[in-house]
């Protein structure tokens, strides 16, 4: 079995201890970091589909998520540029009620790879916490919101509203994303940008600092 195939299998089975070394092995063999990432994302998709069919359960999703996190930790130094003056400042978080953080972490990493300094407020972040962060950090020009559940999509709207009500809407651009989110929803809640994946989010955020 090839290293990437093995990695895919180990992520699906939630073999956390083996995932990091396999990512390192793939890098040593000259695999493209993006390809390595894609294999792990794909493995998570397989688990998600199995969950939808009732063939996998929350514990399986959880161990797969931990395995993927162990893998991305090894990839991070390869993906993220270091040194240099930041291109700009931003903040990211998964919205209130939502505990999914793998996609959010990937978006953060890809944004960091563009030289943007981005604070991570974590998961289950209340609208007030975003408002507080922006208030205390006037250098922060972009807010990135992630939601993975249809039930937490309204929290995206609530967060945009809270920022507006705090009088901070003109100070920041708001980017939204996550599997159930689309451009139509982003427009509906008045976000400035929707991007479907981490790579696109990183490309998009840079444009905000150029204007
Ligand atoms: Co959950 N879960 N989960 N889960 N989970 C999903 C999302 C689900 C689709 C599974 C399914 O039914 N097929 C489903 C949601 C259904 C829906 O609402 N439509 C679901 C459910 C139902 C639940 C629970 C309710 C299950 C339960 O308890 N009964 C529960 C909710 C808990 C909560 O949040 N309150 C729950 C719990 C969990 C775990 C904790 C076990 C675990 C998360 C662990 C963790 O994140 N640390 C988990 C997992 C792992 C998943 C799946 C299998 C994988 C998610 C993932 O990490 N994907 C997921 C199924 C799936 O996605 N196929 C599922 C890989 C990741 C790289 O992709 O996060 O989509 P993703 O991020 C992408 C893009 O979306 C985008 O870029 C990323 C990378 O390119 N993106 C952005 C994300 N944020 C962005 C922000 C941007 C731009 C792009 O701009 C700011």
Domains in the chain: ranges and CATH: 3-81 (1.10.1240.10), 88-210 (3.40.50.280)
What span, in angstroms and rounded, lies between the C-alpha atoms of 48 and 126?
A: 26
Position 84 scores a pLDDT of 63
pLDDT at residue 48 above 90? Answer: no
Lowest mean pLDDT among 41-50, 76-85, 116-125, 131-140: 76-85
Beta bridge partners, 120, equal 92
Ligand 1 atom nearest the C-alpha of 196 is: 89
How confident is the prediction for the chain on average, in pLDDT? 94
What is the band of 85 on the pLDDT scale with cuts at 50, 70, 90? Answer: confident
State the pTM of this model. Answer: 0.91
- The response to whether residue 105 sits with its C-beta less than 6 Å from ligand 1 reads no
> Six-digit token pair at 170?
């003109």
| Distance between start and end Cα atoms, the chain | 48
Give nearest CA residue, ligand 1 atom 35: 98
Ligand 1 pocket residue status of 148, Cβ below 6 Å: yes
103 C-alpha to center of ligand 1: Å?
8
- Ligand 1 neighbour 150 (Cβ under 6 A): yes
Q: Is 172 helix (H, G, I), strand (E, B) or coil?
A: coil
The DSSP secondary-structure symbol of 152 reads: G
* Residue 183 CB less than 6 A away from ligand 1: no
The closest alpha carbon to 33, from 1, 9, 11, 7, belongs to 7
Residue 14 Cβ < 6 Å to ligand 1? no
Between the CA of 21 and the centroid of ligand 1 the distance, in Å, is 25
């Amino acid at each position: 079995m090839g290293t990437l195939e093995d990695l895919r299998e180990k992520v699906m089975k939630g073999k956390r201890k083996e995932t990091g070394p396999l990512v390192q092995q793939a890098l040593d063999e000259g695999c493209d970091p993006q390809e390595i990432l894609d294999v792990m994302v794909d493995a998570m998709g397989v688990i998600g589909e199995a969950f939808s069919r009732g063939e996998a359960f929350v514990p399986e999703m959880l161990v797969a998520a931990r395995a993927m996190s162990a893998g991305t930790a090894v990839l991070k130094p390869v993906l993220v540029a270091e040194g240099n003056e930041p291109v700009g400042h931003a903040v990211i978080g998964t919205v209130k009620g939502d505990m999914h953080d793998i996609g959010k972490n990937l978006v953060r990493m890809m944004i960091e790879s563009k030289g943007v300094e981005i604070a991570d407020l974590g998961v289950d972040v209340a609208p007030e916490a975003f408002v507080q962060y922006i208030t205390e950090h006037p250098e922060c020009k972009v807010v990135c919101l992630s939601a993975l559940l249809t039930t937490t999509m309204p929290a995206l709207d609530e967060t945009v509203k809270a920022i507006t009500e705090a009088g901070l809407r003109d100070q920041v651009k708001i980017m939204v994303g996550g599997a159930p989110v689309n451009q139509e929803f982003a427009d509906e809640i008045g976000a400035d940008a929707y991007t479907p994946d981490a790579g696109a989010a990183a490309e998009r955020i840079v444009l905000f600092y150029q204007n």
